[in-house]
Structure 1
Amino acid sequence: MTAIVVLGSANMDLVTYVDRVPRLGETVTGRELRMVPGGKGANQAVAAARAGGEVAMIGAVGDDAYGERLRHTLEASGVDTDLLRTAAGPSGTAHVAVDGTGAHTIIVIPGANGTVTHLAPGEESLIAGASALLLQLEIPLNAVLAGALAARRHAVRTVLTPSPAQPLPPELLDAVDLLVPSEDAAATLTGIADARLSAEALLRRVPEVVIRMGAAGSLYAARGREPVTVPAPRVRAVDTTGAGDTFVGALAVALGEGRPMTEALGWASAAAALCVQRPGASTSMPYRSEIGA
């Protein structure tokens, strides 16, 4: 079993399926609306737990019906929610539009996630006992930094998904062991569109980088090593929501089990490929047996 702590967001995803996303000022008719538990933190927790990891979640949900469902979804996937807070007010929501190709746009309203501004009692101890801490950027940056610094104090591997992409303070990057941006996020962070050159720039701040390139696979770069590209399985995407989080959750499990990085990336790519063939985020995440097959 792999001890993984996730510090991050939990949202209810309100997912609309449309032939194409409307332009500014335009109205289009959608095919379907689904309410799916999500949020980058909760997604990574569910993905890691289903991939066989021992996972605990730190974050917050609201005292509303969405909060109850989010907590239940995490627990049903085997995630420890003992330190998942309940905040007064609404849970976070994500308003997702998925087009006919499976690509998506997202608007996130933080809700209870915005109350996670620091580590609460007991949370640093939980992080200290983990093999890895997974972080994203859908909770206030102060809490992300506090988590990363706590992990650094206790020699816990810190994996940061820099999404939604934004400028990152040097002290946060200094505490990150593995940065896992999408190709777009890497370009936002560095101002460089080419993935290999972007990875080279990022290695000046962090020791290891994995750039997720969608159907083109992933690029792994580490200081003092030649970059390696690991291809992704060829599949027909139905909905790419949650694919990146599935990748990161599965990758954390594989690395925690001591697999070599290229093997771990192949495992994570298989998990993400299964995810994109199904609608929704947490509902589409595969179990360990499926990934292995």
Structure 2
Amino acid sequence: MLVVGDVVTDVVARHTTPLTPGTDTVARIRILPGGAGANAACWAARSRGRGDGGPEVRLLGRVGRAEADWHAGRLRAAGVRPLLIADGSAPTATVVALVDAGTGGERTFLTDSGAVLRIGPADWSPELLDGVGHLHLSGYLLFADAAARLVRLARESARDRGVTVSVDPASAGFIARRGTEPVLAALRGVDLVLPNADEARLLTGVADPVSAAEVLGRRFGLAVVTLGAEGAVVAGPGGITARVPAPRAEAVDTTGAGDAFTGAFLAAWMTGADPAEAAVEGCRAGAEAVTLTGGRPLLPDGPYEPGAPPGVVG
């Protein structure tokens, strides 16, 4: 499987009391590797690392030159083969995640896209699909013109080779700013969409996410809409095919729960699970993800080591 998407340095600040403007709020702050595309790749690769027969996972993304080795090393440690383009003109994207422990780990993001959205057609080659059975595209790439052109090229290359394509629409805020119709046009021809409830509502104009899933299933052939603690709903051309509950979990940080679902779903789907079975695996991974700080699974030998990429104060 090839994932094309964002690699991000996450600054996660978990505060236990409400933010107080104009003064200090005590928080536990960690610097971690992140990014929706990279996170999903790591969760997909985990099944292979556990011996579950998951796919080999590769990740194409653009990062700042100074941080390239740091991010590549953390991807390799998670079982992902990094195909990172080092950008000499922009730093790696950085996201500050403000996580409110008093609201079940809900988070607010401050995003500096950095090198992520500088990826473009020149970074694509059809040979990147050699040996690849599935292409997954992070929706964050839809929100910059050059990156969106790369998405189109990658999707066309996949079609030419008979490779299936999925997209995680990524961000309700970015969809609202970009506009629904341009986003839907960019998604034309994909085999699977994996939005959350807010993204599904925006893409369809339908308030109920289950009904929105039905609309998306008819449009794309397969849609899986995540519903947070309520699990996920699977839809195809004929309507809803499955409702999958989420395991109970005590949320610490909801960052990356959707990425976990996506990665685990794709790993199961690629190895023969039907969409409902794959959604069960996705929900399990999402429930696990909310118990962790940051957006990635634990490494085989434990948590990510402390530290920060060059140029970032840890």
TM-score, normalization: structure 2? 0.83
Alpha-carbon distance between aligned partners in 1 of 2:134 and 2:70, rounded to the nearest angstrom: 26
For residues 23-48 of structure 1, give each alpha carbon's deviation from its aligned partner in whole angstroms, at most 9, with x where no partner exists: 8x665503211101001111111111
Aligned to 2:139: 137
Alpha-carbon distance between aligned partners in 2 of 1:78 and 1:235, rounded to the nearest angstrom: 26
Aligned to 2:68: 67
For residues 111-167 of structure 1, give each alpha carbon's deviation from its aligned partner in whole angstroms, at most 9, with x where no partner exists: 11122022535x322225311111112233222222222222222111100012313
Amino acid at match of 1:15: V
Alpha-carbon distance between aligned partners in 2 of 1:257 and 1:118, rounded to the nearest angstrom: 30
Q: State which of 213, 219, 222 in structure 1 corresponds to 2:236.
A: 222
Alpha-carbon distance between aligned partners in 2 of 1:274 and 1:170, rounded to the nearest angstrom: 31
Aligned to 1:174: 188
Contact kept? 2:78, 2:299, Cα under 8 Å = no
Q: State which of 117, 120, 123 in structure 2 corresponds to 1:117.
A: 120
Q: State which of 86, 104, 108 in structure 2 corresponds to 1:105.
A: 108
| Secondary structure in structure 1 of the residue aligned to 2:136 | strand
Q: State which of 11, 14, 20 in structure 2 corresponds to 1:14.
A: 11
Alpha-carbon distance between aligned partners in 1 of 2:112 and 2:131, rounded to the nearest angstrom: 32
Instruction: Assess, with a 3 A threshold, how the Cα gap between structure 1 residues 195 and 170 changes in structure 2: closer, same or farther.
Output: closer
Amino acid at match of 1:70: H
Amino acid at match of 2:76: E
Instruction: Assess, with a 3 A threshold, how the Cα gap between structure 1 residues 21 and 71 changes in structure 2: closer, same or farther.
Output: farther
Residue 164 (structure 1) aligned with residue 171 (structure 2): yes
Bigger proportion of residues as helix: 2
Contact kept? 2:12, 2:29, Cα under 8 Å = yes
Deviation of 1:12 (Å): 0.2
Alpha-carbon distance between aligned partners in 2 of 1:226 and 1:80, rounded to the nearest angstrom: 35
Deviation of 1:195 (Å): 1.3
Deviation of 1:199 (Å): 1.5
Identity over the aligned pairs, expressed in percent?
34
Alpha-carbon distance between aligned partners in 1 of 2:213 and 2:289, rounded to the nearest angstrom: 26
Contact kept? 1:274, 1:285, Cα under 8 Å = no
- Consecutive unaligned residues of structure 2, counting only runs of 5 or more, are 49-54, 142-146, 301-314
Residue 279 (structure 1) aligned with residue 293 (structure 2): yes
Aligned to 1:127: 129
Amino acid at match of 2:35: G
| Secondary structure in structure 1 of the residue aligned to 2:273 | coil
Aligned to 1:265: 279
Instruction: Assess, with a 3 A threshold, how the Cα gap between structure 1 residues 147 and 278 changes in structure 2: closer, same or farther.
Output: same
Deviation of 1:224 (Å): 2.1
Contact kept? 1:47, 1:286, Cα under 8 Å = no
Amino acid at match of 2:107: H
Instruction: Assess, with a 3 A threshold, how the Cα gap between structure 1 residues 208 and 279 changes in structure 2: closer, same or farther.
Output: same
Contact kept? 1:230, 1:262, Cα under 8 Å = yes
Contact kept? 1:177, 1:206, Cα under 8 Å = yes
Deviation of 1:93 (Å): 0.7
Aligned to 1:36: 32
Instruction: Assess, with a 3 A threshold, how the Cα gap between structure 1 residues 71 and 220 changes in structure 2: closer, same or farther.
Output: same
Aligned to 1:84: 84
Alpha-carbon distance between aligned partners in 1 of 2:45 and 2:222, rounded to the nearest angstrom: 24
For residues 89-114 of structure 1, give each alpha carbon's deviation from its aligned partner in whole angstroms, at most 9, with x where no partner exists: 31111111111121111122111112
Q: State which of 184, 198, 202 in structure 2 corresponds to 1:184.
A: 198
Aligned to 2:43: 47
Alpha-carbon distance between aligned partners in 2 of 1:208 and 1:28, rounded to the nearest angstrom: 47
Deviation of 1:75 (Å): 1.2
Alpha-carbon distance between aligned partners in 2 of 1:195 and 1:224, rounded to the nearest angstrom: 16
Contact kept? 2:265, 2:278, Cα under 8 Å = yes
